[in-house]
Amino acid sequence: MSKRVKNGIVALAVVIITLLIVGTSYGVMSELGFNTKRLIAYDKTLKVSYQNNNTLDVGSEQSVVLFSVVNNGTLDLMYDVVLTPHNLEDEEIRQVNIEFDGEEVKLSSLEKEDDKYIVYSGAIKRENSSNDVLSHRVLVKETKAKGSLEVRVVARAVNDLAVDVIASMSYEGNKFGLNKDINNNIRYVGVDADNYIRFNDELWRVIGIFKVKDSIDNMEALKVKIMRDMPLQESAWSNGANLFNNSTLFQVLNDSYYNQLKDNNLVDSVFYKSGEYGSITSKEQALRLEESGSTYASIVSIPTIADYLYGKEWMNGKVGWLLGSNSSTVEKFYKVLGEEIVLVNYNERALVSPVVYLNSTVRIVDGDGSRTKPFVIN
């Protein structure tokens, strides 16, 4: 028998009906990363339901823990069932035999990390796609040893692509500030958005996930859009009445600024969309005009008007120039003044917040998106 009881990708098919009755206790996973380097918080993604409790009483006659696992997220997950001994000496641990889903194994023979023993590893599809309720039974055999074993389930992502990790956190009612706009794009909203990411040895913020067309191969793909947390110094839009792709600002961002980015190998040149506005009445209207506007190829850009209106609460004080043009004049462009969007002459000055799209192969290897633990990518 291997050191870890393995039942493959599909776990035990027996559903324990008693888990559904009144009195079931619920354990909600709020951490990720056991046996991995990533510590991504998938609050509510993996729901673990215990019957009665999650503690095995070592020394009593065949103490049993029954539990089930359901994936409420949008990312396929792996999970480990781990046992943590309490009040058990090493010699006592060697006396303990465990039965997991009908297979018996010595506790001391299981793979160990820190003080935890991994009794099982399995997988569960995203959003409960196959209607799986994966049920498990763990039992401690009768022994003279006295103590207890805490049973826990710890989730980890099947892959750590940045697009998939962030998308998996966007379930309804999430606490990370993720929401969807009218086009189903995933965006960070709210003043407490946990969207910090380390890029170019600086703090940046994740605006969201968008389907964009690559300007090199012309292929569409979902990509993560990020913005520098601290804006660059104030700059004029241009030295003439030019749309953004012909402006001085565009040239500076895509030449000298791009060339000094330490992580410029992680970003893509894509087709950005720029709306033409008469008046701005709502974020939904701004997004519709953006979608029907002109497109241009760029690596570095600035936030769109829709980006600001959706992310206004966390963007306030961090944004100046906005991407967009006015339908009545070619000499004025949009910037944020206080919390309002105003139309100003092209030679006026405003803060500049660089925006880039990460390429689709970028992975999140650490962090939870908070300011103290920003996403770390490679």
The predicted structure's pLDDT at residue 157: 63
Q: What pLDDT digit, counting tens, does each position of 341-350 carry? A: 999 999 999 9
Please indicate, yes or no, whether residues 110 and 168 belong to a single structural domain of this protein.
Answer: no
12 with 93, same domain: the answer is yes
The predicted structure's pLDDT at residue 262: 95
- Residue 325 C-alpha from the chain's centroid: 33
Q: Give the Cα separation of 88 and 211 in Å (integer).
A: 53
For residue range 121-135, list pLDDT tens digits in order.
888 876 545 557 889
φ/ψ (deg, to 5) at 183? -100, 10
Chosen domain end from 102, 137, 157: 157
Q: How many residues does the chain have?
A: 378
Residue range(s) defining the domain that contains residue 257:
162-377
CA dist 85 and 80 (Å) reads 16
> How far apart are alpha carbons 147 and 363 in whole angstroms?
42
Q: Residue 242 is which amino acid?
A: N
Indicate the pTM of the whole model: 0.67
Number of domains in the chain: 2
DSSP string, 293-359: SEEEEESSB--BHHHHHHSHHHHTTS--EEEEEESS-SSEEEEEETTEEEEEETTSEEEE--EEEE-
- How much is the pLDDT for 295? 95
Domain termination residue (choose one: 157, 181, 208): 157
Alpha-carbon distance of 116 to 267, in angstroms, equals: 40
Clarify whether residues 321 and 176 are in a common domain: yes
- Given this model, what pLDDT does residue 337 score? 96
Domain identity same for 84 and 175: no
Query: Is the domain of 202 the same as that of 94?
Result: no
Q: Are residues 291 and 220 in the same domain?
A: yes
Same-domain pairing of 47 and 67: yes
16 & 122 share domain: yes
Whole-number pLDDT of residue 282: 97
Stretches where the chain sits below pLDDT 50 are 1-43, 128
CA distance 313 to 330: 29
Contacts of 90 (CB under 8 A, 6+ apart): none
Q: Is 318 found in the same domain as 180?
A: yes
Q: Are 28 and 171 members of one domain? A: no
Domain end (from 108, 137, 157): 157
Going by C-alpha positions, the residue among 278, 280, 276 that lies closest to residue 291 is 276
- Would you state the pLDDT for residue 155? 77
Report the pLDDT value the prediction gives residue 297, as an integer from 0 to 100: 97
Instruction: Tell me, yes or no, whether 210 and 356 share the same domain.
Output: yes
Q: Clarify whether residues 34 and 115 are in a common domain.
A: yes
